[in-house]
Every structure is written in structure tokens, then in C-alpha cells.
Amino acid sequence: MQGDAGRVRGFGELEAIVMEQIWAAPDGATVPEVHERLLGERDLAYTTVMSTIHNLYRKGRLTREPEGRKHRYRATASKAEHSADLMREALLSGGESHAILTHFVQQMDPADTRRLAELLARLDEDGSG
């Protein structure tokens, strides 16, 4: 599991690699831009990158707008939003939510636990919680 520690869950391996490139580009990216960035890391064919981006677009993970003869792709959700969605899905599909939350919080870093407590307190004060 060490090899994929940075992998974005909820995506296939290549989809996760492409999404990382899209998220890293504040203005989105074209297929040639993503392909060029990935050449330093992996030996991927242009058509493989193009197919992966098209599949992500088809799945609703990317939007696109014409830019000359190409399209510029942007993520439909930030990496943080995507991660939060995965956490929600795990909570909803895992059975007993109290037990899941308990185990999750027990595994958290103490600094993250404090941030979570602060966030919950703030949401409670705002009436949003």
C-alpha cells in the first residue's frame, strides 16, 4: 500500500494521476499540457492521456470549454471536496455510523482532532451544525 499512499481514492490509478494534474493547474489544463507534465513521471501515450481525460469528462468529473482547436478541462470538484465526498460515502455505506466515526477519530492525528473539535464548535455556534 505504500506505493499508492498519495493516490486519490475513488479513481482508477491513471484517472487519479490525471486528476492530480488538473487540480494542480489553477486555470485547468488541455490534453497536451497534461501529457507534457506526465512525461517526466511516466511513459504514457498521448492517446492514453486523451482517453482518460475524455472518460473523466464523460463521468462528470471534468468540465471543458473550447480553446482554439483543443479543450481546456477543469475539475468539477476540488480535491478537498472529492475527499469529503468519499468520506461521506464511506460513512453512509459502512453500517453503524457511530462506530465508524469513533474509529476514524481515534486514528486521527491529535492536531487534526483539535481542528475537528474547533470546526464542530464553530458550526454549533453558527447554528450550522
Each residue's pLDDT tens digit, 75-85 = 999 999 988 88
For residue 7, what is the DSSP state? P
Q: What angle do CA 100, 98, 122 make, to 5 degrees?
A: 100
- The set of cell numbers assigned to 42 is 511516466
**How much is the pLDDT for 129?**
53
- The set of cell numbers assigned to 81 is 471536496
Q: Are 61 and 76 in contact (CB under 8 A)?
A: yes
Q: Are 30 and 67 in contact (CB under 8 A)?
A: yes
Q: Which residues contact 50 (CB under 8 A, 6 or more apart)?
A: 31, 35
Q: Are 8 and 20 in contact (CB under 8 A)?
A: yes
Nearest by Cα to 84 from 4, 7, 9, 28: 9
Cα dihedral across residues 120, 125, 128, 129: positive or negative: positive
Residue-wise pLDDT for 20-45, tens only, equals 999 999 999 999 999 999 998 888 99
Averaged pLDDT for residues 95-122: 88
- The set of cell numbers assigned to 62 is 471534468
Q: Answer with the residue of higher pLDDT: 34 or 102.
A: 34
**With DSSP H G I counted as helix, E B as strand and the rest as coil, what are the percentages for the chain, rounded to 5?**
60, 10, 30
Is the pTM higher than 0.85? Answer: no
